[in-house]
Amino acid sequence: MKKLSFLFFLCVTSLLFLSGCSSTQNRKHQVFSSIEEHALSPEKVSLWKDKLYLLYSYEGKQFYFVASATADIQKGSPYSLLEPKGFFDMGEGEKAQTVLVVGREWTEVLKEVLLSVAPPKPQEGKVIFIENFETLLYRDASGKLDLVDLAQSPADVDIVGKLESKEFDALVFKKLKELVNEKGAPYTRFLLQLKNVPLTPFLYVDVEKDIITPLQLPPYYDLEKEMTQLGFSTTFLWSFFVKSHFIGIIKAPFTSATRLGSLTLSSIYTALPPRYKDLEEVPALSDSGEEMDLPDFEKWLNKNISKQKYKASVTLLIDGEEFFPHFILAAQRAQHSIFTRVYIFGTDPYGIKIADLFKQRAEGGIDVRVLTDELNTIVNSTRQPELAYEEDFVMPKSIKSYLRKGSTAKARTHLNTWGTFDHTKVYLIDRELAYTGGMNIGEEYRYTWHDMMVALRGPVVGKLVKNFYEAWSFNGWGGDFAAAYRKLFSKKYRAVNKEEPDMIDVRLLYTKPTQAEIFQAQLEAIKRAKKRIYIQNAYFSDDRIVGELIKARGRGVDVRVILPSENDVTIMHSNNQIMANKLWRNGIRVYFYKGMSHVKAAIYDGWAVVGSANFDKMSLFINQEMSLGISDPAFVQELTERLFEKDFADSDEMTAEREVGWNSFIVGALTNQL
């Protein structure tokens, strides 16, 4: 994406997309394309009975586009632009409220808003979120203002602040109200013209009710994919049967054998869950205020998990709006290297935006390496983007091939021998800054899912760099042998990752074949908890965890679990309902987060766990996973307030048993093996 000048950018609105060329395949395509590009303007816009009517004339015929309001107009996006309707008489049309279509004046409003928040000095910039898009408003060396996509931000600009979407919207409302007052116009409702925003020709604004929402056209063009259905089937079979179970076993015989043994044992272990009884009577919550003996628990961890702890500064980043701008700025300013080890690297427009940034940095001499899961790389090459995309967007056949094409960026995939995965998410910048948590790269993680990451600095980063190099070597042609060499002879932690006075202790917990540290540590924490247990996870199927949570509630512990009300895995969603019933029957407070929560976090009295692992068999016993165990009081308090207490308030608490199907026994048996 080329950098746009400030003036031109304002003229095409503050949403940064390049326009696609519309074809003229059919009449419907022509009409939609003309509306999207504003070659066809509405003759009249009216609000009547909670619906917006946009009157158009085309080829001598009149028709409406109708956008319907949701039940709760004050929350979320109340309107969406629907299919065109035939011309008809409103009946009580004289009572319809007029909506003013604004073009040139809207540009002036944007200009005034941006000027009012612009940084005062040259080489300073502010991150501004405009309808979820990350932009940078900055002054260059001469003092001239420019507004660019954050991924295209100059590395020498000092970031001096940010403006959230809600703050930007509030400023827009204020300026529009001033415009109304200045002109003495009776209008409070506006249709603001957008350009070059996929399928979104207008913003609807009601300054009286403080509503601002995009109006979208229905998709009128098909997604073009490099990966054909035949290509997908062939690639999937080749990857799983030949690469993973022939080449993979040859280059990694010891790991393959270990994984097979671990998979077999864990399958037996989870197929025979312990029996537990419902509580005969749910006790009152303990009012002693006493918590687990943390020093004694740390001794247990030293003996049963590892004595090694690392110093780190830890920054909590909740949701894509906090994580991705933080990461993009760090990647844009990297001096030496960008290493990414991630389960899914999507080929949707947002994933490609990040990939383009990586390729750009590699072109500038930065060592860029990306390690993703093999099967998920293939599967994601066929997914339909959830959000609107440009008409000329072409989905690459794989992120690996896209990163490598015309670039010095390096990309490898983790093979899936015996159906195992590398589910770790670690992002490393210059061997000095690390990010880890639940987020992959893609539009759902940036825009629609609830998730969490932490940013780390300090000696712990050196260990994560070492882990990355070992995984990188293992997934090359050398396999076991290259990884062993790297483990034995890799460089020591870099001196730059020195301990600072304000850093806290961080314990790394892993799931690897024959290592179930994340499971063992949390199970023991549940057994020791005396005051509270807060857990948020998307996939909740481990019977032993559930059994111990019920026992903890029987001891008077305040046990609360947050599950997503929506889920990307249908069978796991069904299983979550089953588990929720078991927990609720035993006095455990169960909350359903509104939407998809992908957060993996827990608090056991004064000990917190955050990371990549789900509460299912694959994450607790099979996959490669990493989580952090942290007992620092300030971090635990921040996690409590910013994540759990907020999500308790934003979720629907369970008040009655959920309906489950007749096949709940089958679902439970299947999910025990997932």
Q: Count the neighbouring beta carbons within 10 Å of the beta carbon of residue 272.
A: 10
CA distances (Å), origin 91, targets 48, 153, 249, 350, 537? 11, 53, 73, 45, 52
Residue ranges in the chain modelled with pLDDT below 70: 1-27, 69-96, 131-132, 183-186, 491-496, 664-665
Spatial separation of the C-alpha atoms in residues 626 and 454, rounded to whole Å: 13
Return the SS3 of 337: strand
| Element at 327 (helix H, strand E) | helix 320-332
- In the numeric block, the tokens 């960026």 are attached to 409
pLDDT at 74: 37
Spatial separation of the C-alpha atoms in residues 105 and 107, rounded to whole Å: 5
Tens-digit pLDDT profile for residues 345-358: 999 999 999 999 99
Tens-digit pLDDT profile for residues 411-448: 999 999 998 999 999 999 999 999 999 999 999 999 99
Spatial separation of the C-alpha atoms in residues 75 and 72, rounded to whole Å: 6
pLDDT at 495: 53
Tally of CA atoms within 13 A in the half-sphere of 354 that contains its CB: 29
Spatial separation of the C-alpha atoms in residues 218 and 425, rounded to whole Å: 35
pLDDT at 448: 92
Beta strands 601-604 and 433-437, pairing class? unpaired
Question: Are the C-beta atoms of residues 511 and 622 closer than 8 Å to each other?
Answer: yes
Domains of the chain by start residue, with CATH: 6-104+170-215 (no CATH), 113-167 (no CATH), 229-251+320-449+459-489 (3.30.870.10), 504-671 (3.30.870.10)
pLDDT at 4: 29
pLDDT at 1: 37
Task: Enumerate residues 6+ apart whose C-beta is below 8 A from 189.
Answer: 47, 97, 98, 99, 100, 204, 205, 206, 207, 208
Spatial separation of the C-alpha atoms in residues 414 and 255, rounded to whole Å: 13
Residue type at 524 in one-letter notation: E
Spatial separation of the C-alpha atoms in residues 600 and 452, rounded to whole Å: 8
Question: Which is nearest to 213 in space by CA: 165, 162, 147, 149?
Answer: 165
∠ CA 261-267-270, rounded to 5°: 135
Spatial separation of the C-alpha atoms in residues 130 and 323, rounded to whole Å: 16
Task: Read off the tokens for 387.
Answer: 């959000």
Question: Are the C-beta atoms of residues 77 and 62 closer than 8 Å to each other?
Answer: no
pLDDT at 494: 54
- In the numeric block, the tokens 């023991």 are attached to 524
pLDDT at 581: 94
pLDDT at 80: 56
pLDDT at 302: 97
pLDDT at 44: 85
∠ CA 350-428-426, rounded to 5°: 70
